[in-house]
Structure 1
């Protein structure tokens, strides 16, 4: 009998689901946008096309692990007024939810519904506890700026008997060929929660130093298998200057893959333009298989929003005391 069954909220194109499948765990994803559902079905990923707010733990009997990447666009500007206000508002909602207050009316009046969607994993977790079917483990990922919210949720889950670990991870330290940063919440009913130990060295521009017991980071060229040397030029500014675009050699990890990934330029060492990244190649920088069936509407957005499957597998393996994923991640 399978010990774990994963429920993947805001499942997107399938990052968490592929991570679960790689670890041999059954998984069903809940997703609403039809474009993402189309991709998932083409990839053979079990999918319920529905709004997560209309469902709950009782709709997935036997599901005992909850994962998710709820939308957080309002939090990605946490250093600005709107983002700070969103964090304050949601922290208040979290406190009310911990006391089992009915906040339905408050959610309706929230400035941005995406702010309230961030609360759905906590609602599911508390409902499962109240229905005597508490999740064995919970794992959530989002942008680095969301960490204060994960910490607030973690305090609520700790009061409910979970061991909780929150923090920020660097994707290249887990074999992902890009320097994406994420914030993570891991909660466990049994055992001590912890963040996954790095398997690869942290990226430092111009040098490959660090713990000699860790593997070198994975470069763009190794991931894409393009036959010739090239440089990648970022589609966004660096150092706070939008006019200054960073450069990476093909031996270095890529910049964070976003929905604007098609704007990332590739050039020869002499500066000649090369073909831009295909959807397949952008997916590979997220550690999706080369043959993954990207198709339909808003493909670049679905790629950029996805949890890198390899990173997700490391997080899940740690949360569930499973063997860490192999360094030979499936690339076919």
Structure 2
């Protein structure tokens, strides 16, 4: 007999691996704020979850529409949790809010913006006997005073959490992700969530340690009601130029390489064509048998050539958009649409990493072979086949 979510939450077991969510995946609903072209959504589909994404960028929405992802096109600030209260038995809030204003390298403006966000998070902390209406009026006034409206977007997921809590319809789980410089914000959010009764874990994940053919670091927050979550366990070795690994790391799978993902006919190296002040000697290089450097919106500027520096004979000297998407672990033939497709690809969370994060949130074990097949298979086949959904007792194979 299946254990219902409510019974699990009352069990109060602490290790997440002992508190697996054992309900039908299609009764688990996720709202994805700032959903972009669908990195988290793709992983949720593989896991069999129901998901609605909120996204205001018309180009990302065009991709989502072509991919068949459910989308509310609009500004996250114009929506709230009440729109989705009856969407599932177990509810997840997820999101990767934009953070351009305070992730710029070292600058004074970036530091000021980060401090503003940390002060906003502190102001949003619940206080006994407070008037919710007056509280939100004050917070909205502070948001209106920000020099750059994007600075305040990072607190939107917390607004959703607090409003759901005030309505006595709290989320069962929360997943937040962004670039690694956002970790101080997640640590501040963690303190607020703990006041609401959540148990929270934060940390930096390296994408190549989860089978992504790319080196990229993401700051992750996972929160659960009723149990202590864990960050996902690494499955692959970290990328190191020297190739020196600990005994524990040697037990893992070797890094997924660019060639594993792209299957090009010629051995190649990728030369970064930007960010080096125009000095060709200073440009970063990776070879076909290594993971790619971080895929950004400028990926189309990278140049590919043979290992000896001569031109490729049969393959393109540039990465196609489909290839860039595959280095992000979007499935083959993902229907990139609209304008600024390279930027859409570079901004997204890799679906393979997202699958690990969501599975860890739910306490599920991933079938690594099924995950690999999902990543390399065509999207039209994997979006509805739920290749990573757990089989529960009594279900047909």
Q: Which TM-score bucket, shorter chain as reference?
A: over 0.9
SS in 2 for 1:153: helix
Query: How big is the shift at 1:298?
Result: 0.8
TM-score normalized by the length of structure 2: 0.80
Q: Is 1:305 the counterpart of 2:329 in the alignment?
A: no
Q: Is 1:132 the counterpart of 2:156 in the alignment?
A: no
Give the match for residue 85 of structure 1.
Answer: 112
**Maintained 8 Å contact 1:310/1:329:** no
Q: Gapped runs of 5+ residues in structure 2? A: 1-23, 127-131, 379-397
Give the match for residue 385 of structure 2.
Answer: none
- Greater fraction helix: 2
Give the match for residue 105 of structure 1.
Answer: 141
Query: How big is the shift at 1:323?
Result: 2.0
**Maintained 8 Å contact 1:236/1:242:** no
Number of aligned residue pairs: give it: 331
Give the match for residue 296 of structure 2.
Answer: 258
- CA RMSD for the aligned pairs? 1.8
Give the match for residue 47 of structure 2.
Answer: 23
Task: Single out whichever of 96-105 and 136-145 deviates more from structure 2.
Answer: 96-105
Bigger RCO (CA 8 Å, 6+ sep)? 2
| Equivalent residue for 2:210, pick from 163, 168, 174 | 174
- Greater fraction strand: 1
**Maintained 8 Å contact 2:214/2:291:** yes
| Equivalent residue for 2:368, pick from 303, 326, 329 | 326
Give the match for residue 36 of structure 1.
Answer: 60
Query: How big is the shift at 1:131?
Result: 0.9
Look at both structures and tell me which one has the larger radius of gyration over its CA atoms: 2
Query: How big is the shift at 1:190?
Result: 2.4
Give the match for residue 144 of structure 1.
Answer: 180
The within-5 A match list for 1:197-212 is 197-207=233-243, 209-210=245-246, 211-212=249-250
Once the two structures are superposed, residues 242-285 of structure 1 have per-residue CA deviations (whole angstroms, 9 ceiling, x without a partner) of 96111111110000000000011111012123420000000000
Q: Gapped runs of 5+ residues in structure 1? A: none
Give the match for residue 12 of structure 1.
Answer: 36
TM-score normalized by the length of structure 1: 0.95
Measure, in 2, the Cα distance between the counterparts of 1:128 and 1:302.
Answer: 30
Once the two structures are superposed, residues 108-147 of structure 1 have per-residue CA deviations (whole angstroms, 9 ceiling, x without a partner) of 1101111101110000011111111111111111011100
**Maintained 8 Å contact 2:58/2:338:** no
